[in-house]
Amino acid sequence: MQISDKASLIGTRKEKKMSLKHLGPGSLMPPLQKGKLRLYSMVFCPYAQRARLVLAAKNIPFEVVNIKLKVKPEWYLKVNPLGQVPCLHFDDGRTLPESLLVSEYLDDTYPENKLIPTDPYKKAIQRLLIDSVTKVTGPFYKFLFGDSAAGPDILNGLDYYEQKLDNDYFGGDKPTFVDYMIWPWFERLEYLKQYKGLDLNENRHQKLFSYFERMKKVPAVKATIIPAATLNTFFKSYASEEPDYDCGIEQ
């Protein structure tokens, strides 16, 4: 499972061109623009990537403002008291936080290229698969921050998804909501393999490895994917308590 080092870190051609540098203390909130949807994000946050994937998949025009999560701008806690990303900010001042809520809102509000199934049963099954990503994310973060004993638990979590994958994508013959909601952690497995020694075994997860290759060709994924080397640079800086939020950002 290889990831191109030329991948874009942020979003789509529809995204408004403003500085992608992350904002911290002392910065001013960029003024809202009439008719523009704003997403507060952080390049390396998998939860924010969920929203960027949906925006890219549905080709929704938006602007992005990146936030330094460890040292937030003073104004951001007024926008979102939770202090988290992603968060939508509308031109009338309303806001909407939380990755699943943001992603569901976008799919409901922009009905073209619908991602969430209309069939109640299929929708429920997708939600089960999304909620079950904790089988991977829990041990993922333990392993990321030095608990090598969590490696087998990641693989066990992948076993679950290997068993559930019975088509080209978890949503069927094309990517749908569930695929975009779980992909950010699957994308980061390559980083864990290359730089943290995670023992990913293609023989054990043959269907998933093929799925990974298909997903990397999906336009929305190509628009938001982060190279493993860039992730390594960021996480090394994060461990030093001085995160380099802007590593890999050209402007």
- Active-site positions? 45
Cα 129 to the center of its chain, rounded Å? 16
What SS3 class is residue 41? strand
CB burial of residue 5 (10 Å; 0-12, 13-18, 19+): exposed
Residues 49/6, Cβ–Cβ less than 8 Å: no
The 8-class DSSP code of residue 43 comes to: T
- Sign, CA dihedral 203-209-210-211, equals positive
- Asked if residue 185 lies in contact with residue 46, where contact means CB atoms within 8 angstroms, the answer is yes
CB hemisphere CA count around 17 (13 angstroms): 3
Determine the Cα angle at 95 with ends 87 and 46, to 5°. 10
Q: CA-CA distance, 134 to 185, in Å (whole number)? A: 10
Q: Is 171 exposed, middle or buried (0-12, 13-18, 19+ CB in 10 A)?
A: buried
* CB-based burial, 79-94: b 16+ in 10 Å, e otherwise: bbeeebbbbbbeeeee
DSSP 8-state symbol, 148: G
